[in-house]
Every structure is written in C-alpha cells, then in structure tokens.
Amino acid sequence: MMTERVRDFLARNPDLEPPFLVLDLDEVKKRYQTLATEMPFADIYYAVKANPARPILSLLAGLGSCFDCASPREVRDVLDLGVAPSRISYGNTIKKDADIRTVWDLGIDLFAFDCEEELEKLARMTPGARVFCRIVVDNTGADWPLSRKFGCEPEIATDLMLMARDRGLVPYGLSFHVGSQQTDPLSFNSAIATATGVMGALRSKGVHLQMLNLGGGLPAHYDRAIPAVGNYAAVIKAALAEADLNGGLKQIIVEPGRYMVADAGTTVSEVVLTAQRGDQRWIYLDIGKFGGLAETIDEAIRYRFVTKYNGAATVPSVVAGPTCDSCDVLYEKNVCQLPAALKAGDRVHILSTGAYTTVYAAANFNGIPPLQEFYI
Ligand SMILES: *Cc1c(COP(=O)(O)O)cnc(C)c1O
C-alpha cells in the first residue's frame, strides 16, 4: 500500500530524481502501537538491521521500544538517542572478540549465542552477562528462511545453557527465528513447543530460564495477502499458555524488523529501457539487486509495482536492474504482468520497500549512488 502521506509527499515533490525511498513514520508508529496492543505480554525489540535510519530509531525510542542490534555501530546509533543500555540486546550470534568487548563496555548485558565456541568468547569477555541460546526451528512458511546458518539443536541448547551457568554467565533465556516473512502464524506454535521442551529439560537440572525471545518473522504485504498481526498474537498467546511455564518466565521478547517498517515505505523508480528479446519483453528499472532490492535473490520477496497505467492492458515482463551484471535480474521465473504501454522515463512505484532495502544498496557499483531516503 502507499499511504496518503507518501502520496502527498510525491505530489509536492514531482522533481525528485528516482530512485528514492519515501517512508511514512506515522505508519511505523501505528505498527508499533498495534503490536504493543496485540502482544501486551511481550517487550518489543526492534531489529535495527531492517532499517537503521535515525528518524525510525528516534521515533521508536520515543514510543518506548527496545532494540536488537547486530554490531557496535547499531548499538551506538541507539545509545546516541538516549536509550538505556538495559533496553538493548546484542542478538547477532556471530561476533568478533573486539565487538563483544566494545558492546560490553558500552553497558549492554544481553547477548545471543548458538554454539560452544561463541559461548567461550562470551564467558571470557563478558563475565556475569545474561546470555540466551538460539535454537533452530522449522522455517516452513517463510519466504526468507533463516535456518541452517543459525541456531543449534534443542538438545545441544540444553548442554550449552548448563555450560553457560558453569562458566559464570547468567543462563537467561532462549531465542528462535521462525524465518523472515513468515506467512504461517502456526509456525510460532511449534517453535514455542520446542523451546518449552528445552526449558523443561533445564528446569530438571536446576536451571530456571527467565526469558523467551520469539524473534522476528512477522510479515509485510508484498504480492499476497498476509494474516493480520492479531492472528500471530493469538497463536503465540495460546502456545505460551499451553507451555504452562508456571509463571517462571519474567520476560517475553519479540523482535520485529520487516513488520515495523516494510509497508511504510515506497520506492519510486524509473524505467530506463524496455526491450523485446525474442518473444520476451524486458523492463529495465533504475533500481535492482545492487540498488537495494537484494531480497529479490531467488525471487524470494516479490514486490508489487504500481504505474500510472494501472488498469490498462498488461503483458508478461521480465524485470531487471540497471547494472552491467547479468545476475541483476529481479523477476524472470515469476514474470510480472506490467502495462503494455510502459516505456522509458515512466515512473514505477515499488510498494512495501521500507525494510531491507536502503541497507542493502551498494555504495558505488557501476557509479550508481546508494538509494536516497526520505522519512516523513
Ligand atoms: C533479522 C532478525 C530479526 C528481524 O526479522 P524480521 O523477519 O525482519 O522481523 C529478528 N531477530 C533476529 C535475531 C534477526 O536476525
């Protein structure tokens, strides 16, 4: 969707040169408030990596959000806004010694890990810190899966948390990620059940975890309708109740990234070239995989395109980016139905591009500057 405020901004600024992203901060605020209302049992840790723009961080800080960071730079960006270190987690499971030290010295006391080697680092460098172990869960239903690279098997998590206790860390909790752009609310049900099993095993060994981190995964509205956030909240609430955690848990965390910012943003791009190659029509935009649309890798995330011709006759079109790299094709397996009249110079609005775009834009590939950003 394109919000009224984005529409107004574009009407008032017809001369801005594409490509650029316009993001409606009111929409982010609405998202935050909806989530806080739907999941009153959870603390919201915005996943900064989705879009770390200062206006977004500043807005969320003002609303009382907490933040999940992946690097010292992200931690500093959040601290600079006056956010207390106690409201920040370092959720990246892959950290350099020097970065752990920096973040620990900045006062952050909540760290993720998912293997013995990372736990050893934390034991060495952050004595007494609260740690949580990321377990691997089924990512079926996610358009952008996050398994394999992250998370350990539940049985290993049990051993690691015992080890954490023995090494002088606080075995604080567990986390998982059901996969980004997770379109099946029930995925949270099985993930919570898996986590509950680990907590039970630890309880029988005298370790009482205090926190469960449900990760991200809440979806944005790309090419298909998605369940409302209330559906996810209902599944999570029921699963937590069924887990019968005996009130032992002090904290439930959610880490929305995509949900919070994706739908608030529209990217304005321009058609550079249309070409007929054999019986296939090609549309080349001024933004592609290197300009910020990296999540089109494997055509995983399928953005919606809007043009001034909408409603007119369409033809199947391959959509590609402007760079001199043959991998810079956005949609070829899933060709797009785009207006037959679309031509070079026309604008194409790419919806729901507020997350995982600006941060993915190359600095200077083919001499193309990073995506411009406007936060309104
Ligand atoms: C990326 C990430 C998130 C955010 O995921 P979304 O699917 O964008 O909500 C949350 N937690 C962790 C640990 C992540 O790496």
The mean pLDDT value of the chain amounts to 96
Calpha distance 38→246 (Å, rounded): 22
Query: Which residues of the chain are in CATH 2.40.37.10 domains?
Result: 263-375
The confidence score (pLDDT) of residue 101 equals 97
Closest ligand 1 atom to residue 218 Cα is 9
Mutate to test the pocket of ligand 1, among 35, 74, 255, 260 (most ligand atoms within 8 A of CB): 255
What span, in angstroms and rounded, lies between the C-alpha atoms of 352 and 302?
A: 10
Atom of ligand 1 nearest to the CA of 70: 15
As a whole number of angstroms, the distance between CA 361 and CA 368 comes to 10
Can you name the CATH fold of 263-375? Lyase, Ornithine Decarboxylase; Chain A, domain 1 (2.40.37)
- In terms of Cβ atoms closer than 10 Å to its own Cβ (0-12, 13-18, 19+), residue 248 is exposed
**Whole-Å CA distances, 59 to 173, 233, 252:** 28, 23, 22
- pLDDT tier for residue 347 given thresholds of 50, 70 and 90: very high
Q: State pTM to two decimals.
A: 0.97
Report the distance separating Cα 189 and Cα 195, nearest Å: 10
For residue 30, how far is its CA from the centre of ligand 1 (angstroms)?
19
Q: So what CATH class is 52-256?
A: alpha beta
Characterize 147-179 residue by residue with b for buried, 16 or more Cβ atoms within 10 angstroms of its Cβ, and e for exposed. Answer: beebbbebebbbbbbbbbeeeebbbbbbbbbbb
Contact criterion met (CB below 8 Å) for 133 and 174: yes
pLDDT of residue 1: 77
E-strand spans in 71-129?
A: 88-90, 110-113
Q: Where in the chain are all domains bearing CATH 3.20.20.10?
A: 52-256
- Compute the average pLDDT of residues 126-142: 96
Residue 245 has pLDDT above 80, yes or no: no
User: What amino acid is encoded at 286 in this protein?
Assistant: D
Mean pLDDT of 326-347: 97
> Residue 239: is its pLDDT beyond 70?
yes
Q: Is 324 a catalytic residue?
A: yes
Out of 67, 114, 180, give the residue to mutate to test ligand 1, the one with the largest number of ligand atoms within 8 Å of its CB.
180
